[in-house]
Amino acid sequence: MAKIRVLLALASAALLSAACSETTPTSPAPEMNRAASASTTTAAARMPPRALAPRPSGGPGLVGTWGGDQLNLTIGMASGVLEYDCAHGTIDAAFVTDAEGRFDLAGTLVPESPGPIRDDKPPIVHPARYSGSTDGTTMTLKVTLTDTGDVLGPYQLTRGRAARLTKCL
C-alpha cells in the first residue's frame, strides 16, 4: 500500500511539473526549439504547424481586474472571481462575449456574514447567472441567483479600477 502511495505521489509530481512548464498550447514543443536552432533542415524544423482551436471572442482582452461600487471582478483565462461587500462568487467558465460585447455566464454566489466561519455550519452556495455587456473598458453586470430568482445589480465596473468594498463586520 505504501509503495502505491509513493508511486501516485511521484506520478502526480511529474504531471504537475509537465503542466507547469513554460510552454503554452500555442508555443512550439521544446524539442522543436532545440532542433530548429541547431539546424533548420532537420525533420523537426520541417514539421507542419499544429492546428489551434479558435479563441473565444473577448477572452484574453478582458482578463484582469474590474472594479466598481460594492463589487470587484477578476477575470482569468478560464474563470472569474467576484468579491462583494458581504459575499463572494465565481464565474465557472471562460469569460466569452458575443459580437456586441454581451455575456451570460454560469457561476456561484456565496453570501457572507460577520464573524468567524463555523465548521458545523457550511456556507450556502447559490447557483448564479452573470449577465451584462462590456465595451472592453466598462462593464454592466447583473447577477441572478437561479435557485431563488433574486437579482443583484446592475453593477457598473471599470477595467483596472479598484473596487469600493465595505466588508461585513
Cβ atoms of 164 and 83 within 8 Å: the answer is: no
CA separation for the pair 110, 126 (Å, rounded): 6
pLDDT digits (tens, 9 = 90+) for 123-137: 899 999 999 999 999
Same domain for 90 and 39, yes or no, is no
Question: What share of the chain in percent tops pLDDT 70?
Answer: 64
Cβ atoms of 124 and 31 within 8 Å: the answer is: no
pLDDT digits (tens, 9 = 90+) for 101-125: 999 999 999 999 887 778 888 889 9
Residue labelled with grid coordinates 447559490: 126
Would residue 45 count as lying in a domain? Answer: yes
Reduce the DSSP state of residue 15 to 3 states and report it. helix
Would residue 125 count as lying in a domain? Answer: yes
What is the grid cell recorded at 89? 462568487
CA distances from 84 to 29, 71, 93, 135 (A): 41, 5, 19, 22
Would residue 15 count as lying in a domain? Answer: no
Would residue 128 count as lying in a domain? Answer: yes
Q: How confident is the model at residue 35 (pLDDT cuts 50, 70, 90)?
A: very low
> Which residues does 66 contact at the CB level (< 8 Å), separation at least 6?
72, 73, 74, 75, 139, 157, 158, 159, 160, 161
CA distances from 49 to 27, 78, 93 (A): 10, 25, 28
Same domain for 64 and 48, yes or no, is no
What is the grid cell recorded at 122? 457550511
Same domain for 99 and 129, yes or no, is yes
Question: Is the pLDDT assigned to residue 5 strictly greater than 70?
Answer: no
Same domain for 31 and 73, yes or no, is no
Q: How confident is the model at residue 97 (pLDDT cuts 50, 70, 90)?
A: very high
- Give the range of the structural domain holding residue 41, as residue numbers without chain letter: 26-53
Question: Is the pLDDT assigned to residue 155 strictly greater than 80?
Answer: yes
Same domain for 86 and 102, yes or no, is yes
Same domain for 147 and 86, yes or no, is yes
Same domain for 109 and 140, yes or no, is yes
pTM: 0.63
Would residue 17 count as lying in a domain? Answer: no
- Res 11: pLDDT: 52
Number of domains in the chain: 2
Same domain for 66 and 144, yes or no, is yes
Of 137, 135, 151, 66, the closest CA to residue 103 belongs to 135
Would residue 107 count as lying in a domain? Answer: yes
